[in-house]
Amino acid sequence: MKDRIEELVSAIPYTDTFADVGCDHGYVAEAMLKSGKCKKAFVSDVSEKCLEKAKKLLSDFISAGSAEAVVSDGFEKLPECDCALIAGMGGEEIIKIVSAAAEKGVLPDTLVLQPMKNFDRVRDCCVKNGYKIKKDYVFYVKDKYYFLIAAERGEDLLSDEEREFGRTNVSERPSDFVRYAREEKEKLAQILNAGNLGEDERNKITNKIKRLNEYADS
């Protein structure tokens, strides 16, 4: 089983220049450089202090000129790159970063996003800003589910199911997604059975359970 970093790296295409926006420790950039999946990596964080962890990890690459650490709010001060990762943030924060970069025309050709919530809105943001979603699936690591969205420049139109659950999940029904659907269905059923819900909320949950049934029974 892959860990989270390995899964993220596997979803990123080979590219000349790669940026990890909000890079945390810099593990993804390190793996990209060591595997030869990029020629140069930029790591960024809005905080100079937080960026120190990545600078320490990548010190040899930085000295060699194949990595660069940049204090930046999103893409604001990042050099131009071909592909960028934004992972481990809330969906609203990712949308804010992508939207701000879109307004300035500095978005890369490829985006790999791993939001922690509001997945449907992140998908909408990709399509709105001129991306076609190529892969969109959930993976399970250490008792947690993570949604990963990989998109490239192009026009796209999402079905209601793709918007809610993810294109790859809907079309291929990978085992982690089936497991996720079953667990989500059980959680919602418990909420429903606990009562104390208004009619609108009860109907909303009931309809969500029905939509999950199709995948939970795969």
pLDDT at residue 217, rounded to an integer: 84
160 token code pair:
């209601």
- Give me the pLDDT at residue 218, please: 74
Instruction: Tell me the backbone φ, ψ of residue 58, rounded to 5 degrees.
Output: -100, 15
Contact present, 123 and 162 (Cβ < 8 Å): yes
**Who's near 151: CB < 8 A, 6+ residues apart?**
110, 111, 112, 113, 126, 131, 132, 133, 134
Segments of the chain scoring below 70 in pLDDT: 1
pLDDT at residue 75 in the model: 97
Name 148's Cβ contacts closer than 8 Å, sequence gap at least 6: 7, 8, 11, 112, 113, 114, 135, 136, 137, 138, 139
| Cβ(129)–Cβ(138) below 8 Å | no
pLDDT at 27: 97
Average pLDDT, the chain: 96
Instruction: State the pLDDT at residue 174.
Output: 97
| pLDDT tens-digit series, residues 171-214 | 999 999 999 999 999 999 999 988 788 899 999 999 999 999 99
Predicted confidence at residue 196, as pLDDT, reads 83
Decide: 109 and 82 in contact? Cβ < 8 Å.
yes
Close Cβ partners of 156 (under 8 Å, ≥ 6 residues apart): 126, 127, 131, 132, 133
- pTM (2 decimals)? 0.95
What's the confidence (pLDDT) of residue 194?
85
Reading across the β-sheet that carries 110-114, which strands appear in turn? 67-71, 38-45, 15-21, 83-87, 110-114, 144-153, 131-141
Q: Which two tokens stand for residue 140?
A: 């399970």
